Amino acid sequence: MRWQEKAAGGGMMDELHPQRRVAGLHDIRFDGLSDLLLRARGCSVIDIGCNRGHVAYDFAMNGARLVHGCDIDASSIQAARIWFSELLHCRSQFEVVNLENGPKSLDVFGPEGYDIVLFIGVVHKLKRVMTADVLRSLIAEFSRRTITYFGWNGYTEDLQMMDDMLVGLTRVHTSELALPGRPSAIWKRR
């Protein structure tokens, strides 16, 4: 099958003609969360569901000292590793992780917490494949790992669920700048 046919009919295109993995654009997913970039200098950051590391890279460029990221797609993680291989000022680690395995899926990063935890455009996907109990325990693990700020983007219907599941964190900012029904929010450790 030629790459043009793949583009028209779905499936991954060849490496000379890469295909988008997600529906949202980087700027739209991050709209309403950019205040966190102002707090990146010297921080540790994890981007859960990092895709190809675009948002994580923005944090590194704004002075984060450590950036970790995970995604289920191996080619995306490879792309993030390549992006970060050029950055000498920032320690990084990107891993292929299946969040369906619950809290233990983050064990590859060790037990440490992060100044900033990012969970952008992922929860609606996990709700399709996880039980409510496993999702609750996973988000509780994200809470435990959040030292200062937790940034999220998703659908309006999931905002209250996130408020309820983020233990020890208080929502301090909500924005609907990007798209109606697709809020971004920031929680802070109490």
Got the DSSP string for the chain?
--HHHHHHH-SPPPTTS----SSS-HHHHHTTTGGGGGG-TT-EEEEET-TTSHHHHHHHHTT-SEEEEEES-HHHHHHHHHHHHT-SSSEEEEEE--GGGGGGGGGGG-S--EEEEEEES-HHHHHHHS-HHHHHHHHHHHHHHEEEEEEEE--HHHHHHHHHHSTTEEEEEEEEEEETTEEEEEEEE-
Q: Copy the structure tokens of residue 95.
A: 């891993």
Report the DSSP pairing between strands 44-48 and 66-71: parallel
Please count the CA atoms within 13 angstroms of the CA of 135 that sit on its side-chain side: 17
pLDDT for the residue numbered 178: 75
pTM, two decimals, is 0.86
Binned average pLDDT, 10 residues per bin, the chain of 190 residues = 36 53 53 93 98 96 98 98 96 98 97 97 96 97 98 96 97 90 95
pLDDT for the residue numbered 30: 75
Q: Are 156 and 179 in contact (CB under 8 A)?
A: no
Helices 156-165 and 132-145 pack at an angle, to 10 degrees, of 60
pLDDT for the residue numbered 29: 64
Q: Copy the structure tokens of residue 83.
A: 């992006």
Instruction: State the SS3 of 19-57.
Output: CCCCCCCHHHHHCCCHHHHHHCCCCEEEEECCCCCHHHH
pLDDT for the residue numbered 138: 98
pLDDT for the residue numbered 15: 61
